[in-house]
Amino acid sequence: MDYFIETAPLETLQADCTMIGVYQDLQLCLPANALDNNTRNLINSVINRGDIKGKLGDSVLINVVPNSAIERILLVGLGENKPLSAKNFRKALYAAVNSVKKPHLKAVACSLAECSVSNSDWQWKTRQIVEVFSDAVYQFTALKSDKETESKLEKIIISAPQEQITLAQAGLAQGKAIAEGVALTKHLSDLPGNICTPTFLAEQAIELGKKSDKLTINILEESDMEALGMHVFLSVSRGSREPAKLISLNYQGGDKDSKPIVFVGKGLTFDAGGISLKPGPGMDEMKYDMCGGAAVLGTLLAAAQMNLPLNIIGLIPSSENLPDGYANKPGDIWTSMSGKTVEILNTDAEGRLILCDTLTYAERFNPDVVIDLATLTGACLVALGRVPSGLLGNDDALCNDLLTASETANDSLWRLPLWEEYQEQLKSNFADLANIGSKDGGTITAACFLSQFTKNFRWAHLDIAGTAWRSGPTKGATGRPVPLLTQYLINRAKGL
């Protein structure tokens, strides 16, 4: 979709539909009053006859607007007549865009940024419109013979007053960059494992590198990883005919001497569990085990689109995890790049195996911080559900920065403890550590395992197992945590 900022009066905008907000006390957002007068009080007559109560998320589409160039008006409930919370503003936006998808409208004018949102300016509100509308109209049709989509939206006009044009334009640029990053992440994640292999993921990184002269790509093959001593990583790919890849993206937007921010994204393009085979029901969703890697690509795309003055490294260890006569087995012991030996007690705990060697590899970049993101544990879904991603780390300042970014981005996090007592579960009689602990605190012990390889830098871990995709009738990738990571980068670029 194309997005535009327009400062002309709302009643003069040319669109198939104009969106305006209505509060529970049946008051309109300010710019809508002129529109109501222009349509001979049509809007208030619809409100007064009770067609809409103004409750948050309510909507009514007025399909006929006599004596006006405006074809339709969508009334959107905003709830109480007071500044909205950030979450309620986004709820209103989702209600609005979902109401105009099925009528197959092509151009929509949106005045909802005119309503007041607590602690939010026009830059943030404009950005949210772009992010929410883009998210709502996304559909995966690449592999369908019928490419028909639910939405026909092509053009979104965001109404803004002249005095707010600078902030609105800044929000538009940020929103478009983040929306593109989210769309790329969702598309790659929704692809099936027979198409999105480690090699395919590497090819997408190479294509991404062509979009910015500040971005260079390097692909490590299995022979390269063998030479580096990444035997724990390579133990995962032994059962697959698809060769593993370690994808490295280097974005140089800052001073050459500035330490980079390093993102490490788990890129398991399909996870059957290996010898510790997963149950059949729901196994198709294990194509989503590469959502962390896809989100690294999406975040780097957004950073490049915004031309952020930062140095950023993206590392994506990518493999499949399948059962085979050559696959690693419970009880096997492998030596990591760090020199630590790992006893494999469960081959389905493979994400931490490809991540641990990659975290060691990240040290060579002399990072300022390292943030890994992974669909790592089902225990995180049990503990936190599908609302926040789990956050653990060895540096309070870094974790607090991520929490702050999550609040701005509406991409929620919840921090879990990383206490020394949990390390006891990873002790092995035969190796330096085991790859799993007991059933208790599975998300925490997984992070404890990774922490053994992050002692030389500031590190945070995001467990996105509950937030990277949805199950059920709306099954599909969410694109998280691209908004969070991009907001973190925006804050860093501002020196926050």
Q: Looking at the annotation, which residues are catalytic?
A: 278, 352
Calpha distance 298→177 (Å, rounded) = 9
Spatial distance between the Cα atoms of 311 and 153, rounded to a whole number of angstroms: 36
Token pair belonging to 44? 């208030």
CA 260 to chain centre: 21
Fill in the amino acid letter for 110.
Answer: C
End-to-end CA distance of the chain: 32
* Secondary structure (3-state) at 77: strand
Mode of pairing for the β-strands spanning 73-79 and 59-62: antiparallel
Length of the chain: 496
Structure tokens at 262: 């390093």
The bridge status of strand 2-6 relative to strand 369-374 is unpaired
Q: Which of 74, 60, 164 is nearest to 116 (CA)?
A: 164
- Residue 252 token pair: 């140089």
What is the C-alpha to C-alpha distance for residues 122 and 190, in angstroms, rounded to an integer?
A: 33
Which candidate, 230, 226, 233, 166, places its Cα nearest to that of 198? 233
Please answer whether residues 204 and 312 qualify as being in contact, where contact means their C-beta atoms are separated by less than 8 angstroms. Answer: no
